[in-house]
Each structure stands twice: as C-alpha cells, then as structure tokens.
Chains A and B, each alone.
Chain A
Amino acid sequence: EAQVTQNPRYLITVTGKKLTVTCSQNMNHEYMSWYRQDPGLGLRQIYYSMNVEVTDKGDVPEGYKVSRKEKRNFPLILESPSPNQTSLYFCASSSLPGESYEQYFGPGTRLTVT
C-alpha cells in the first residue's frame, strides 16, 4: 500500500529536550515536505526537499532542522523545542512538478511542548 508514515503519532515533551519526528514514504517520490497545522492558520510549510541531500526552508523554518540522507526518509528535528512549537505536524511527499502536484500526507504527529 502506497503511504507516508510518521512516528510518533503523539508526543508530549518539555522545553529544551531535543526530539525527532520520523517520516518515511514508499512511493519513490523525489519531493518531501513538512507542514505544521494550527487553528485558523491552516497548513504552513516548514521545510521541503527536492531530492537526497537537497533541502530548503519553507515559510516557518525557525526552530526546526531536517535532513534527507535517503530518498524515502525525511526526519524533522527540534533541537530545543519551545511551547510555541506545540502543533499538529504533517509530512507529505509527491512527484516532481510536471508529473503531479498531488501531495500525499502522513497521518500527523500531535506535539505538545510544556
């Protein structure tokens, strides 16, 4: 089954404790992206990657890091989480432009930082 998986699905942590949210896709997509979803603000892009070792900032990258060492994996790293990073996070993947603009989303990770 074609899918994007994220782990963990729920996470409660404390300010300053480094954490990683994993994302993996099995569709051989070149493009992967992280979004955060907040009430009234919709989905906002954090970082994206066009291919292995190629990453770039989205609209709200502050406080986040990513890496793309393998095509299928795109982890999101919070080096020092703060309460304003409490949010619902989605990983997404898609083919490159010209093939399809459809993005496939993972199930989401609900993060609470206290």
Chain B
Amino acid sequence: QKEVEQDPGPLSVPEGAIVSLNCTYSNSAFQYFMWYRQYSRKGPELLMYTYSSGNKEDGRFTAQVDKSSKYISLFIRDSQPSDSATYLCAIAPGGYNKLIFGAGTRLAVHP
C-alpha cells in the first residue's frame, strides 16, 4: 500500500464548478498536510498548508483534514480556467523536511 494515495484523474469541469480533490494516507504519525499546484512545464508551488484536523480557507480554496479517517481534501469554489493544473497532496511526518507526495490529479477547467 502506498503511503499516500491520490486519484490521478484527469478531472474536467466547467468554469464555475466546485472541485473536490482528495488524498488518503496510511500513517497516523503524519502531521503536516500540504497541497501543491503544478502548471504544465513548471515546478510545483505551495498552495495550502495545514497542521491540524479541520478546515483552512484561502480565497476560493479550502483545505480539509480528517485525521481520524486519514483523509485530506482540497475544494476549489468558482473554478476558473486558470485553475487548470496538476494538484499534488503532500504529507510530512513532522520533525524533518521529507515530503511524501501523492501521484497528482490533473484538473482541466473549461470555459
């Protein structure tokens, strides 16, 4: 079993839709949860970062962590064509910098 599982998609939605992206993880010791966004031909860049269970909101983006279920989600409201990218969840055990990435979900938002 992989430490972090993420559906690779692709996911195609119309502009304005609410998008839900999800990951599951296997190790309950994981403490830090991140979402990176990667545009085509670019390196990943940090989008959201959270430490505890619950929700964290930043504009149109909401990151949700459920430690009891080992499940993390990213919601995008009012999706835009500029949101078209690959979204990678990343999890850190805590205490050092190693990140464990999901495979990434490719999202396309069409006008």
Contacts and interface: CB of A to CB of B under 8 A. Distances in A.
B43 A105 contact: yes
Nearest to A33: B97
B97 A42 contact: no
> Interface extent on A, as a size class?
20 to 34
Interface of B: 4, 6, 8, 32, 34, 41-46, 49, 88, 92, 94-99, 101-104
B38 to A, nearest CB: 8
Nearest to B42: A107
A45 interface: yes
Nearest to A31: B97
* Chain B interface, DSSP helix/strand/loop, else mixed: loop
* Chain A interface, DSSP helix/strand/loop, else mixed: strand
Interface string A93-114: 0101100011111111000000
Nearest to A91: B43
Contact of B43 (A48, A94, A102, A106): A106
Contacts of A106: 43
